[in-house]
Amino acid sequence: MSKKLHEFDRNERRQGDELIAGVDEAGRGPLAGPVVAAAVCFKPFSLKAAFEAGQRKGLFRDLRGLNDSKQVPAPERESLFRQIARHAITGIGTASEAEIDRLNIFQATRLAMKRAVLNLTRTPTMLLIDGKYLRLDVPLTQKCIVKGDCKSASIAAASIVAKVFRDAWMISLDKLYPGYNFSRHKGYGTPEHLRNLDALGPCPVHRRSFAPVEYAGEDETPLESF
């Protein structure tokens, strides 16, 4: 974990003993699978102790390389996931494909994030949420941070937890619904996924409200009306 990421969180605390939760999601763009959110709180005293130790031991050694999950190779993400679970308070929330179709992806993401916060074992005093408009329906102080997973230690950790958890979920779905290769593309609309979707049609974990799924198997996607 870089000093810069930690200092961002520390500067957001109004008091030194406040418990900040970073909140982020994985899976807004895919054509299949749930959207997964995570909330992560690093205890302030743990961070302070680690810095007083010169960052040579404990938390900062274990979380070396913490960053936005998209910038971290998969093996390192999995190692960081284990260390975050060791050092932090973590909550995970999901919204299903049916909820995505019923609510839309934006509202389903907010729901998954709310569930992640409610699944924390301690109530944070502030939420730092990755994004611009993703305020949550919870009675907590909140701040939306654009590109927060590159700025905040707790948001970066939440991005790692959400990504690793969702990837494992998609690997399990690959065993339930063979033929789509979910374990490779994790539900994203890759050329391979689109070919398999056209050949096999949607399965129960596809998002029916997403156009490539809605029109799977047809020669063309209808043009929008003007």
pLDDT digits (tens), the chain, 226 positions: 566 788 888 888 766 668 999 999 999 999 999 999 999 998 765 555 555 554 445 555 567 777 767 878 788 889 899 999 988 999 999 999 999 999 999 999 999 999 999 999 999 999 999 999 899 999 999 999 999 999 999 999 999 999 999 999 999 999 999 999 999 999 999 999 999 999 999 999 999 999 999 988 665 544 443 3
pLDDT for 226 equals 30
Signed CA dihedral, 212, 217, 221, 225: sign only: negative
Q: Are strands 126-130 and 141-145 parallel, antiparallel or unpaired?
A: parallel
Residue whose structure tokens are 């961070």: 47
**The token pair that represents 197 in the structure block:** 């979707």
Count of CB atoms situated within 10 Å of the CB of 132: 11
All structural domains of the chain: 3-176 (3.30.420.10), 182-214 (no CATH)
DSSP one-letter string for the chain: --HHHHHHHHHH-SSTT--EEEEEEE-SS-SBS-EEEEEEEE-HHHHHHHHHTTTSSTHHHHTTT---GGGS-HHHHHHHHHHHHHHEEEEEEEE-HHHHHHH-HHHHHHHHHHHHHHT-SS--SEEEEESSS---SSSSEEEEETTGGGT-HHHHHHHHHHHHHHHHHHHHHHHHSTTS-HHHHTT---HHHHHHHHHH---TTB-TTSHHHHTTTSSSPPPPP-
Nearest to 49 by CA among 39, 40, 61, 67: 61
Residue 139 CA, chain-centre distance (Å), reads: 21
